């Protein structure tokens, strides 16, 4: 795209690399913006450079980054409804919807391509699709984490209640004991624990 053809490999000259980075980063974000507007889709771009000081550059068509991430979540939510199983069947979740489509796509690709000219671009494409599946799994993990927190809070509450009951129990037992020892007449205990 410039004065001469450029091989796609790391630019060794630091100066040139830096300039190219600045230009191409701008270009990439511009294209991301055009794509999102022209085709009415949400696009997010993240660039992490490591030249000495690691810097983070970002673009998102949605107002906030959390916005696009919430879209992830709702996307994942939909899949969850389809395979609303428990942890034991967790494995089956990975073969739902998009993942199944992905495998079909892979088969199609392999069918129509001779082993000879299995283009690198094809492989890159498949790789990207697989990565898309991975990000979905990651989102799923985030959701599970949130559920985990919720569950743990409930557990904590129940355990605290149980503790309270047990303490009361001990208190009354001791009291009655004392009384019973004095009057030689111990009363039967009733231990009632109601929760859940």
Partner DNA sequence: AACCCTATATATAATAA
Partner DNA sequence: TTTATTATATATAGGGT
Q: Quick check: helix, strand or coil at residue 57?
A: strand
Identify the DSSP state of 87: G
Q: What's the length of the chain? A: 196
Is residue 26 at the binding interface for DNA, with CB under 7 A as the rule? yes
Is residue 133 at the binding interface for DNA, with CB under 7 A as the rule? no
Among 18, 141, 163, 181, binds DNA (CB under 7 A): 18
Q: Indicate the residue among 51 and 156 with the shorter CB distance to DNA.
A: 51
Radius of gyration of the chain (CA): 30
Q: CA triplet 77, 83, 85: central angle to 5 degrees? A: 105
Q: Quick check: helix, strand or coil at residue 33?
A: helix
Q: With beta carbons less than 8 A apart as the criterion, state whether 100 and 129 touch.
A: no
Among 11, 73, 83, 126, binds a copy of itself (CB under 8 A): 11
Window 35-74: residues binding a copy of itself (CB under 8 A): 35, 37-50, 54-60, 64-66, 68-69, 71-72
Distance in Å, CB of 110 to a copy of itself, minimum: 19
Among 21, 69, 143, 176, binds DNA (CB under 7 A): 21
Q: Quick check: helix, strand or coil at residue 130?
A: helix
CA dist 130 and 77 (Å) reads 19
Q: Indicate the residue among 41 and 115 with the shorter CB distance to a copy of itself.
A: 41
Distance in Å, CB of 144 to DNA, minimum: 32
Q: What is the dihedral of CA 11, 13, 16, 17, to 10 degrees?
A: 50
Q: List the single partner that 80 binds among a copy of itself, DNA, none, CB under 5 to 8 Å by kind.
A: none
Interface positions with DNA (CB under 7 A) = 1-6, 16, 18-24, 26-28, 30-31, 34, 38
């Amino acid at each position: 795209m410039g004065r001469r053809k450029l091989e796609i490999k790391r630019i060794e000259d630091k100066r040139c690399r830096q300039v190219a980075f600045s230009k191409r980063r701008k270009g990439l974000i511009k294209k991301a913006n055009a794509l999102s507007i022209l085709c009415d889709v949400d696009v997010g771009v993240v660039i992490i450079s490591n030249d000495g000081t690691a810097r983070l550059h970002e673009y998102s068509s949605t107002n906030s980054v959390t916005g696009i991430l919430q879209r992830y979540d709702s996307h994942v939510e939909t899949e969850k409804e389809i395979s609303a199983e428990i942890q034991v069947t967790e494995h089956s979740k990975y073969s739902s919807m998009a993942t199944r489509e992905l495998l079909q796509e892979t088969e199609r690709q392999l069918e129509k391509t001779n082993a000879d000219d299995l283009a690198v671009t094809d492989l890159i494409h498949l790789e990207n699709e697989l990565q898309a599946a991975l990000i979905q799994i990651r989102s799923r993990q985030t959701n599970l984490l949130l559920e985990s927190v919720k569950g743990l809070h409930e557990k904590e509450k129940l355990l605290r209640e149980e503790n309270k009951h047990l303490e009361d129990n001990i208190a009354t037992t001791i009291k009655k004991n004392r009384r019973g020892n004095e009057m030689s007449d111990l009363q039967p205990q009733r231990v009632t624990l109601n929760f859940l």
